[in-house]
Homo-oligomer: A and B are copies of this chain.
Amino acid sequence: MIAEFTIVPVGTGESLSSYVAEVYRILDASGLPCERHAMGTNIEGEWDEVMAAINACRTRLLEMTHRVSIVIRIDDRKGAAGRLRRKVPSAEAKMRT
């Protein structure tokens, strides 16, 4: 499955990039394939490993702050893997038809 994940501390300063840096470090350490973009990070893996990585980010941010807001969006397609790099090119190929 592919999950898009965003975590925002509530009640801290207006700049969030140091929290995002922490999330990048933890996701890197997970070893799962990731795609960073301006509105979150996409991760690919099995339910248990993806949720463990997200929970590690959540636990870390709750050490740095008192309240967090999380959004997780999942696209789970049976028997499909390696889709993180394939979804955009696959739709782009159809643009030309």
Q: CB within 8 Å of B: which residues of A?
A: 2, 4, 6, 8, 10-18, 20-21, 24-25, 35-40, 42, 47, 51, 55, 58, 62, 66-78, 83-85, 87-88, 90-95, 97
- Complex contact A40–B94 (CB within 8 A): no
- Complex contact A4–B77 (CB within 8 A): no
Stoichiometry, as copies per complex, reads 4
Residues of B within 8 A of A20 (CB): 87, 91, 94
Which of chain B's residues has its CB closest to A71's CB?
Answer: B73
Residues of B within 8 A of A83 (CB): 38
- Complex contact B91–A40 (CB within 8 A): no
Of B11, B16, B42, the residue contacting A39 (CB under 8 A) is B42
